[in-house]
Amino acid sequence: MKDARRRILDTATRLFYTEGVHTVGIDRIIAEAGVAKATFYHHFKAKDLLVCAYLTEQYDLQRIALPALPGEGRAKLETVFARLAELGTGPGFRGCPFLNAAAEFADPAHPVRAIVDDYRVWFTGFMSGLLTEAGHPSPEPTAHQLLLLRDGVAVSGALDTPEQVRASALASLRSLLDAPA
């Protein structure tokens, strides 16, 4: 029982992701994390800040994990989308933490939405870079199309059958990349 903060954030990540932010209360988190309420409010001033910490960590993790995938240029694009489809469709998985959170926070001015926006800007830039690396003729517009595809994969992955999503995602990716200028 070393780091209470770590335990809180791990528990919150699991519960927020699998059950939603609004449906999971503080009492549930502190109970499952084995932590006192005072300890919780010592580390996180309010629930909203815990939500932000959760999303920020997910952002950091993806920002490290996706660029670290093997391959270069176009091959890496395929690897990235295969990984994304895999992530959102596993058993017990529930799509994309950023999109789910954004759907729960309707106010665009909420701090949670700022993190989601940051992630989307980063992802688009990441796509644009890989497209440039692959010698694509129009990286910028195509990057936005890949963002659309990413969103589709994340959402469908949570609602439809994994195989269907994986196959459709890769087929779509190839069509988008091979489209004539």
Interface with DNA: number of residues (CB under 7 A): 21
Decide: residue 145, CB within 10 A, 0-12 exposed, 13-18 middle, 19+ buried: middle
CB under 8 Å, gap of 24 or more: what pairs does 58-63 form? 58/13, 58/97, 58/98, 59/98, 59/115, 59/118, 59/119, 59/122, 62/119, 63/122
Classify residue 90 by its DSSP letter: S
CB 57 within 8 A of CB 9: yes
The one segment of 29-37, 38-46, 64-72, 103-111 that binds its own copies by CB under 8 A: 103-111
Sign of CA dihedral 104, 93, 23, 11: negative
What is the Cα Rg of the chain in Å?
18
Candidates 26, 87, 134, 177; binder of DNA (CB under 7 A) is 26
Instruction: Give the 3-state DSSP-derived string for 46-76, with helices as H, strands as E and coil as C.
Output: CHHHHHHHHHHHHHHHHHHHCCCCCCCHHHH
Q: Does 162 bind its own copies (CB under 8 A)?
A: no
Which 28-87 residues touch DNA, going by CB under 7 A?
Answer: 28, 34-39, 41-43, 45-48
Candidates 3, 19, 27, 72; binder of its own copies (CB under 8 A) is 19
Q: Does 159 bind its own copies (CB under 8 A)?
A: yes
Token digits for 152? 């589709």
Least distance CB 93 / DNA (angstroms) = 23
Q: Per-residue contact track with its own copies, 120 to 149, x per CB under 8 A?
A: x--------------------x--xx-xxx
Which amino acid is residue 18, in one-letter code? T
**Residue 34 interface partner, choices DNA, its own copies, none, CB cut-off 5-8 Å depending on type:** DNA
**Residue 147 interface partner, choices its own copies, DNA, none, CB cut-off 5-8 Å depending on type:** its own copies
What span, in angstroms and rounded, lies between the C-alpha atoms of 28 and 160? 29
Interface residues toward its own copies, by CB under 8 A: 18-20, 22-23, 94-95, 99-100, 102-104, 106, 116-117, 120, 141, 144-145, 147-156, 158-160, 164-165, 167-169, 171-172, 174-176, 178-180
Interface residues toward DNA, by CB under 7 A: 1, 3-5, 25-28, 34-39, 41-43, 45-48
